[in-house]
Amino acid sequence: MLHTLIDTLAADQATDVDAHCDVPCAIYDPAHLLIASLTVVRMIDIMEELEGHKPDNPLVYHNTMARAVAMKEKHAEIVKHEVRIIWGDYLKAPQFEAYPNAHELVHNIMLTGSKAKQGVSRDDAVALHELCNEFAEMFWATKGVETKRAAAPYKPGLETVYPAL
């Protein structure tokens, strides 16, 4: 009622102030980081498979192993990068108030992501993926989007969070 009164009697006295929405895209999606965390696990699986079935040609072995290590390194860094973007650019005070463990979750992803980069523990890589799942669930919850967990339709086939659209 008061708003209507002001709108009727004093709107011409009001100065318009913009609450800008000029971010070029505002497209945020945890899909990238989940694919990357799955890739980290997959690269460790490939390394273990390769070690268990060494090819006759040592060059093939070293080449494949080097590529798997490089991809593991790269995708663990993609996880950290993507999480940092959503945490730093997308999440704001209202979301942090609604999800007070967000900072701790992000920090855990950073630590576990580094572990996955440094080592070859599949458990660490799986733990990283699960943290990413939790992050994805939190992200979609801030948008009011329901999620579901399903096995990824490719190796390593781990349970992964998807928006239930």
Partner 1 sequence: MFKLFRVRGRSMLPTLGDGDFVIGRRIGPHAVRRLDTRAIVCAQHPHFGPIIKRIAGVDGDSVRLDSDGVTGSESSSLGDVPIDCITHRARLVIRARGGLRRV
Residues in contact with partner 1 by the rule CB under 8 A: 1-3, 6-7, 10-11, 13-23, 26, 88-95, 142-143
CA distances from 120 to 46, 65, 116, 131 (A): 11, 12, 7, 18
| Nearest distance from C-beta of residue 90 to partner 1, angstroms | 6
Which residue, 52 or 88, has its beta carbon nearer to partner 1?
A: 88
What is the smallest separation between the CB atom of 92 and partner 1, expressed in angstroms? 6
Q: End-to-end distance of the chain based on CA atoms, in angstroms?
A: 38
In the complex with partner 1, the residue whose CB is nearer, 16 or 104, is 16
- Minimum CB separation from partner 1 for residue 9, in Å? 11
**Cβ 73 vs Cβ 118: under 8 Å:** no
* Nearest of 54, 42, 31 to residue 139 by alpha carbon: 31
Q: Which is nearer to partner 1, 95 or 108 (CB)?
A: 95
